[in-house]
Chains A and B, each alone.
Chain A
């Protein structure tokens, strides 16, 4: 081996050892997190890793135009990884380079460099000249990383140009850029000078490369390394609901310190690119509330950096996770501003789970600190005592059915339980939806019944608000009731009951067939089992996606199909719809809190709806209906625009039964 190889080997070992040490430190602090099994379903996980980071679905599937640039850069970067390794090796062991395919590779590498350079220029222009609001200004980190990248490029081309001048470049004929550089800048260079310049460029390149690798581990560009495992260890459940809390062991409830998160949550923080798509879609951020999902993840990462090593050494954390103004601490107002709408998670390219983290911190505030917005005291009390948010006597639960022929669920005889839900039972407005659903079910001759006054709340709000202890009790009671009565199929009116039964109750080992009425009605229409009038003229109808129906459960088309079948035309879409639908503002228990910070989310959504100049705003959720009606009143538009639940529209189109 040449002396150059020995010197390089020494530096190489030091650099790689440093990199491994950095990575190991990261690995250790991630290990501080609580256990979570993400080692199952290997096949699915490998697939997810291939599709998302490697095939770039992570960015391409999130409907941002700029993603194309990222994908192009990523792929050229992958090619350059090979190019770089070969270049380093070629300098050390010149005979090692494969002679056959090498010229072709050389061409590909040069092209990759050019494409990468173009793509970086586009990124740079985007950050510096036409920066979208949701992105951060260029950080020093990014400037250094980019500079290192340019150093690498200079080294690479300088080396090959020098070799061309020396006449020892095997792929010389296939290197247009290097050839051009050699001709333009090194025309008069002697072979000896070219040899030494080649040497310099090779060292520049090699050291630059090692520096680049080492530096990566300390910047937001760690995402290049961490996002790949993060896509592997992602939650495979479509809705990334919060984990159960263990009340048996005596430990802190919720997350009040960074090491009380799960290890996957900590890995998330390293995978974050700070791209800002979460923030761009967050209804709280959009209405000037103190919550910014990207900042939350950044703060957790910062907190981990400050406290991680201390905690590993069994010392006390120095930076509080919650409540301080310092960077690295999450403000309580931010924690309470979340509507759990899930837009952040839906848009995150690397499957970061923001909402479970926020709910985890809420749990700590509620269960350990008794620290929550005053209004929630009443809600929690009502939930505990009367199992509904308003504290209405449970005996009023069946009042919606007065004058209707509603049967109780009979074990072995009734097929579907129609779970009415608190809003559907008590709220006069939502009762109209409930009654409509009852009419639809009867018109389709479905065997259904209700639990009458023994129905209880599903527990959605208390869970999202972090009062997991009470939720846990509610779930167990409900599951027992379902099992005692032999209930296996449940139709719900409210998307929150729907998602809670379907996704959250599964954590208790029960598999229920839960159907949202919009899906059922869609199926009935497809199977021609619903006697409908030809078509009802509703005027312009705009459809609003409820978060817990759409993003949480992927039900986008069923309600739209129903609207189309009933009114004869597809509903109008607002600016944001489907996966990017904008929350009404009431989810995550926000329904029960005052909205004193920033502007109103529902007002913003109503404004978006009014842009389409509709006669009817259609939603499938009692919360959304309430928020829209309130918003329209604020906008003084409640006389011209009606808010209707899909069920009301369908019931209005039913042929009169004989």
Chain B
């Protein structure tokens, strides 16, 4: 097998109910650069049920071609039909690079495809590049983020990587761009699939779901120090003003002042927002485990010794019930000024 048999950069367009995941467009942006360096074509892989409109959207984000498999069998994501179909496309059209978002779907699919094709896969990349031998340089944090590892897939093809959401910039959208749609039939029929989807329970419909938390860029988290359900409204006000989401600690759930599905921590949700404001949170290790990788951590706690201050970027020593409303007012003022 010669490397030259494989050409082109592919981006898998992840979708749910016909709406694409933002990371897919980010990858088209990154893929375009790679394609330019290699002087090859950038293509999108669109798989789903009634998803043709995504091809046009892919063109507007820079894809020149779209491989489309549109079939009811793809209505819900299931590993088997998706990976078999992607493998069939790859075997037929032989791209040299295949990129997917490092989401739960992307990671599941990429692993299955790479195993089937016996090729390399680098998971959770934050940077991509091309070396002088035209190899894809896939960079990802290793050893708890203490070093960055750059991985190459030297011999096997395609070179596969999943890329973390928001690691790449969102490209400009140009709805005037057009491309070529290549239709392919699904690689598998419903009858031969072992897994049937009976019902999808959407966690985002159960109150303010945990799904929203993992993607939130700003999180205002309340702990036992918030003291009551009513006081959580203060946090909600700040979240509304800043465009963020409210979360809570286990202790707040225990005290029944906040709902279970907002709980951040070891056995709750793990979050990594850009800004994390911890209000009345002491910082028990089980909580820290769920949020310590956040970008900027602002701790509001009257106890200077609270362990939350060990991980915080900024600390505000004081009663969160006084500090939070002041912050809300300030943010509102700033917004008003900006609006003027």
Contact = CB atoms under 8 A, between A and B. Distances in A.
A426 B267 CA distance: 17
A427 interface: yes
A639 interface: no
Nearest to A626: B284
A637 interface: no
Given A385-B144, A393-B144, A393-B146, A375 B292 contact: no
A639 to B, nearest CB: 13
A592 B289 contact: no
Interface string A204-242: 000000000000000000000000000000000000000
B233 interface: no
Nearest to A591: B286
B267 A593 contact: yes
B285 A395 contact: no
A392 interface: yes
Interface in B104-148: 143-146
Interface in B63-96: none
Interface in A608-655: 630, 633-634
B313 to A, nearest CB: 16
Contact of B270 (A378, A392, A394, A399): A378
Interface string B244-267: 000000010010000000000011
A382 B286 CA distance: 13
A12 interface: no
Given A378-B266, A427-B285, A633 B307 contact: no
Nearest to B144: A393
B283 interface: yes
A424 B144 CA distance: 20
- The interface size bin for chain B is 10 to 19
Please classify the interface of chain A as helix (H, G, I), strand (E, B), loop, or mixed, using the class held by over half of its residues: helix
B144 A390 contact: no
Contacts of A423: 285
Given A385-B144, A395-B146, A633-B224, A390 B286 contact: yes
Nearest to A600: B254
B310 interface: yes
Interface in A405-445: 423, 426-429
A423 B254 CA distance: 22
B299 interface: no
A424 to B, nearest CB: 11
B288 interface: yes
A428 B224 contact: no
Interface residues of A, number: 25
Interface string B213-252: 0000000000010000000000000000000000000010
A594 interface: yes
A428 B310 contact: yes
A390 B288 contact: yes
A386 interface: yes
A426 B266 contact: no
Contacts of B224: 633
Contacts of A630: 254
Contacts of A31: none
Nearest to B250: A630
Contact of A386 (B144, B251, B254, B307): B144
B318 to A, nearest CB: 20
A427 to B, nearest CB: 4
A375 B144 contact: no
Nearest to A391: B289
A426 B292 CA distance: 13
A633 B251 contact: yes
Contacts of B146: 393, 395
Contacts of A390: 266, 285-286, 288-289
Contacts of A593: 267
Nearest to B310: A428
B305 to A, nearest CB: 9
A399 B292 CA distance: 16
Nearest to B306: A428
A378 B268 CA distance: 10
Contacts of A394: 143-144
Contacts of B310: 399, 428
Contacts of A592: 266-267
B145 A393 contact: yes
Nearest to A430: B285
B289 A395 contact: no
A634 B254 contact: yes
A386 B292 CA distance: 15
B285 A428 contact: yes
Contacts of B267: 375, 378, 592-594
15 contacts: A375-B266, A375-B267, A378-B267, A379-B266, A382-B289, A390-B285, A392-B292, A393-B145, A393-B146, A395-B146, A427-B285, A428-B307, A428-B310, A592-B266, A634-B254
Interface of B: 143-146, 224, 251, 254, 266-267, 270, 283-286, 288-289, 292, 307, 310
Given A392-B288, A429-B307, 4 more contacts: A393-B145, A394-B144, A395-B146, A429-B285
Query: Which 3 residue pairs are nearest across A and B when measured between Cβ atoms?
Result: A428-B307, A390-B289, A375-B267
